[in-house]
A and B are shown apart, each in its own frame.
Chain A
Amino acid sequence: MFERFTREARAIVTSAVEEAELRGDSRVGTEHLLVAAAGARSLGGTLPTREALRDQLNRLDEEALRSVGLDPILLGTDHRSRPAQLRKHLPFTGAAKEALKGALKEAIALGHRHIGAEHIALALTTAEPPDRALAALEGLDMSRQELRSSILRRIEKAS
């Protein structure tokens, strides 16, 4: 399947892995794919910015810490880096794998032979909730339908 990925789509997958490492997460999830996709030039303007998405994910973490009585300010960013001995090749979550498979389906449905950034982004909008990427979008007041149609409009304009 990956041989059909465009250069940009491959870069999204690589960048998602880096994003997960950066956040100290143990798996590469849909939220990391979303942040990575937000940096794709061909999607410019359809997704929130990387920074906005990262801030939103941080906000979700802060809410989670507060819900168990911990002050995120006192903790600083200690919860965000993993102990050195646990750092290794990060696996993808089930949902992230589904999204990559979904990208292929999106390409086929549109009659495209390649799998690009737009197909990964479309696949992310079809995740089954609860989903971290959808939660981040929701926090930024962007519905999956809204995102989906703006990506589709962009594809139409480009073709």
Chain B
Amino acid sequence: MTWGLLAGADADNPARGLQAVVLLRRLADRLEETHVRAARVEGWTWQQIGDALGVSRQAVHKKYRR
């Protein structure tokens, strides 16, 4: 199965492709925020959230403390 997100990435429209990257990043940021907050409410530690996201405990804490 070779079909996927990148199947169309060889298309001849980098302006559109790069804008898609910007929008996908923003969606990922929104999704991250929602679920980090939910995890905190559930009592996850910063370490556990960092591990789940594949980043350091300090990185998540710095971004979401408050």
Contact = CB atoms under 8 A, between A and B. Distances in A.
Interface of A: 24, 60-61, 63-65, 67-70, 75, 78-86, 130, 135
Interface residues of B, number: 22
Identify whether the interface residues of B are mostly helix, strand, loop, or mixed: helix
Given A67-B11, A68-B8, A84-B33, A79 B26 contact: yes
A67 B21 CA distance: 11
A10 to B, nearest CB: 28
Interface of B: 5, 8, 11, 13-17, 19-20, 22-24, 26-27, 29-30, 32-33, 63-64, 66
A85 B34 CA distance: 11
B3 to A, nearest CB: 9
Nearest to B19: A64
Given A61-B19, A130-B15, A67 B33 contact: no
A70 B24 CA distance: 10
A94 B65 CA distance: 32
